[in-house]
Structure 1
Amino acid sequence: MSAPILVFGREGQVARELAHVGEAERRAMVFAGRETLDLTNFGAIDGLIAAIAPRAVINAAAYTAVDRAESEVEAAFALNRDAPAAMARACAARGLPLVHFSTDYVFDGALDRPYVETDPTGPANVYGASKLAGEQAVIAAGGAAVILRTAWVYSAHGTNFVKTMLRLAADRDEIAVVADQLGRPTWARDGARGALATLDALSETPGLAGVYHLSGPDDASWADLASAVFTESARRGGPSARVRAITTDQYPTPAKRPANSRLDSTKIQATLSWQARPWRESLAACMNQMEF
């Protein structure tokens, strides 16, 4: 039996979809969640990689509480910078390919077009700063690593915008949703498929290492996404609500959000001949996995 892929993360959206896709594709995979090790114990990360002797590593674990990160700076940087740094060093020392997930929040959102990989970074919040520091640490380790920046991730699992909208609609007839922030919604299953496709390519051609954007191909505002969620939910007999479009200023949060979170995924499409599906299509597929 071939060596497995080691995935850091177990209960997160992308990790759970990696488990689903991996099983469907009959891939040998080992998942290391919180019950397996403390990711702030950096020696344990190296020890686990040594013990499992995987053929490759995917890091789908992260500190993702964007607003809480503003007051938990050390915790955010420990999980988003220091843990990936330890993984990258361990992989580089053993010649193992590494795929590490990052975020659109490494950008400030000031551009009026989708971001490409070479655009200057400039995080507007602590979460984004911690993820950018993680990217830099992974690159500094010098191994064959790919950084996948993704955005507006949703799934049938965990905590995400789609599930939050459905929960709120169970008790409300109208929900105020921000309409002046733009992004490209991404189903976590597409993120998982993209990560595995990237890993396969990287294993064959280490020269593909670098930064790639992996997100849905088309734009939406949060209000657009909410409206589509309620339409799909109503078709399935689930909760629905009217969407009242508001501005970012009308919905203050501890962490500043980028007005433009759109990622241009042309590079990964050209490199792998692979792309995520349009978000309305993937949203329908995702909601088919939910119980109503």
Structure 2
Amino acid sequence: MPISKNSLFVSDLDGTLLRSDTTFSAFSGRVINRLISSGVRFTFATSRSPEKALSLVRGLELQLPVICLNGAVTVDPTTGRWLTVEAVAPAIVEQLLRIGQLVGTCPFLLGEDDGKDTLMHLPPRNPVQEAFLAQRAGEPRLRPVDALRPLQQTLSVAFIGESERLQELSDRLAIEYSDQLELRLMSDIYFAGGATLEISRRGVDKVECLSSLCRALDAFPADVVVFGDHLNDLPMFSFAGTAVAVANAVPEVLAAAHIRCGSNDSDGVARFLDDIFQIEAASAQ
């Protein structure tokens, strides 16, 4: 794998850089911070919201913009300022809410409202939604309501529930909104039989933001090394010169990877980077 001063390393979070309990290990933080301080370019791309994503890797001394909500927003990690925003039109959000009611499943709305990072939701209606909210208990962005409405900036509409029902919904929306929306149906890595249908504005995905970041850094796709585990990482795998799948990745991601590293629970990303740059060995001398 060619490494140069132009190399750019980009990691997914859940299931990749984070362990299965969503923690970020001290080892990973130590290795990556030493890389960054030595001039290595590193950032992350995630489906998480900006505030939550940065809180999960607190202590990581990132300098480059981070990609959140699958590319709907990019953020300056040092200030928390949103650099780019790609919101879903309020009229489209209203239509999605009506369709959700018709099929018996209501979405979660992620974005910005009253100047705050917001996750607006109704009371949970199935075990997958209960598990989703339990993982986020106590987060200040949670906003339980009796009736949903578009946020001031709705960046993502997420239907959460049983896989079969969401597949039917995805098929329907693909016919009606193929020219307006990006649809990502993914199995839930934390709840067996569950799935999430993430919906964003057409043209919004991780790779578009990654391409923009490359232009800003005078980097080429061949300079990019990406780490991932799930289907929403596949566009980045196609874009990057080197695609690295963690050992716990889904079969489609493992098949698309150029290289495999250890699992997320064994700090596979950090150990892969340490093998290349010998950060831990150098620090021990």
- TM-score, normalisation: structure 2: 0.30
- TM-score, normalisation: structure 1: 0.29
